Amino acid sequence: MTERLHRQDPYLLEFDAAVLARREHEGRPALVLDRTAFYAESGGQPWDTGTLGDARVLAVVEDGKDVLHVLDHPIAGERVHGRIDAERRRDHMQQHHGQHLLSKAFVDLAQAATVAFHLGSEDTTIDLDRLVAEEPARAAERLANDVVWQARPVRVSTLTAPEARASGVEPPEGVLADIRVVEAEGFDRQPCGGTHPRTTAEVGVVVITSLERYKGGTRVHFVCGSRALAAFARRERVLADLVSTLSAPLGELPAVARKLKDDLALSERRAKGLLERALEGDARRLLAEARGGGPAPTVASPAVVVAAFDGWPAEDLRLLATRVVALAPAVALLGSRSDKAHLVFAQSEGLPNDVPALLKAAVEHLGGRGGGRGNLAQGGGDRVERLDEALAQARAALSARA
């Protein structure tokens, strides 16, 4: 059994201990000590890191009444000196105690109970059992911060189940004695095995960063203490970048961003109109060239438009092909060279060609794939250098049929 020194003194960062057992945990060496100041992962709070002798402590795991210290390499000797990473411990104390205060504030002001707590390396969350809107959440945040700034003493006591109940704490199910109760004086009392500061003031500040609907309740993302400072610094950097990129003062960023979005939508509408007009012009020009001063095309003698373009997206080819075949009885065999070769074939209503078969033969020549239905088919392949050949073959296949 390992004595948990952090339960008595969460500020103890160095200790000496005797090695009780050497084991292995997930392929790494692990030590069981007679006493430890390392907190093992439990109750939503991650483990401490640090060193034992000259080995790094990578993880600390509860194993019944023992605590396993998982090391990066084995160490010799019957006694070891342990050292806890102070910054990580303080971070966990700030987030965890901040969580106690925020959870209690949600109970008091929004009748919302915390059903889960997660303390990650960046994100900290509590899950509430009901939906809580922005306004009551901000009220809970204010209350938690009031309690932080009142620097109330934090006390830990070990009670029996009846004693716990008498003090208003519901003991964990099936636990009759040695119930560790953490109390922020005059505000909150709950059973907890985690590391907590001497006073609420050490939490620094509690900041809710976002709320989301989660499993019928609310997931509250928040940061405390040094994490709040880091989150503020991160946001400041992003905002400074935006201020500089958009050349607008901080307070005007939302309005400027909205205007940019509106301008972009307008530009996209105009670009679409321009594209349609340009394609209309291209379609008429291609049909006139195909006609070459001859008689107007008919269903019996349709125009055959063959054209290749550089850098056109397949979507634009398709728009042009459908325009060509809408303007006059025609077959359009269009191609484009970009990172790959694109083909779009189309024919007017009432013409007899098997457009998908024609396209299939052409894309196979390009080493690619494609398909379509009825009067429209498209595809492409990697053999860009064969585009003209593929179009000429399709043109020849049409003539052979005619």
Is 67 within 8 Å of 51 (Cβ atoms)?
Answer: no
Give ∠ CA 292-295-298 in degrees, rounded to 5.
110
Is the Cβ of residue 97 or residue 365 nearer to Zn ion in the bound state? 97
Question: Smallest distance from the beta carbon of 98 to Zn ion, in angstroms?
Answer: 10
Interaction pattern, residues 343-362, with Zn ion; x per rule: CB under 5 A:
--------------------
Subset of residues 26 to 85 that bind Zn ion, contact rule: CB under 5 A = none
Stretch that binds Zn ion, among 154-162, 184-192, 271-279, 353-361 (CB under 5 A): 184-192
Instruction: Find residue 150's DSSP bridge partners.
Output: none
Which among 81-89, 153-161, 192-200, 205-213 is the span making contact with Zn ion, rule CB under 5 A? 192-200
For residue 55 the two structure tokens come to 């080995």
CB-CB contact of 324 with 346 (8 Å) = yes
Q: What minimum distance in Å lies between the beta carbon of 117 and Zn ion? A: 8
Rounded least distance, CB 178 to Zn ion, Å? 16
- Name the one range near Zn ion by CB under 5 A: 1-9, 85-93, 186-194, 375-383: 186-194
Minimum CB separation from Zn ion for residue 62, in Å? 15
- Residue 194 touching Zn ion (CB under 5 A): yes
Query: Considering beta carbons, is residue 53 or 172 the nearer one to Zn ion?
Result: 172
Task: List Cα–Cα distances, 127 to 53, 106, 145, 301, in angstroms.
Answer: 39, 11, 19, 72
| Contacts (CB under 5 A) with Zn ion, residues 100-119 | none
Interface size with Zn ion, residues (CB under 5 A):
2
**194/217 with CB nearer Zn ion:** 194
Q: How far is the CB of 194 from Zn ion (least distance, A)?
A: 4
Smallest separation (angstroms) from Zn ion to the CB of 191: 8
The answer to whether 357 touches 370, Cβ cutoff 8 Å, is no
b/e sequence 33-60, b meaning 16+ C-beta within 10 Å: bebbbbbbeeebbbbbbbbbbebebebb
Stretch that binds Zn ion, among 193-201, 249-257, 323-331, 361-369 (CB under 5 A): 193-201
| Residue with the shortest CB distance to Zn ion | 192
Give me the least distance between CB of 100 and Zn ion, in Å please: 6
Separation between Cα atoms, residue 11 and residue 89, nearest integer Å: 9
Q: Say how far apart CA 321 and CA 312 lie, in whole Å.
A: 13
Where does 7-100 show beta strands of DSSP type E?
14-25, 28-33, 35-36, 50-52, 55-63, 66-71, 79-84
Residues that bind Zn ion (CB under 5 A): 192, 194
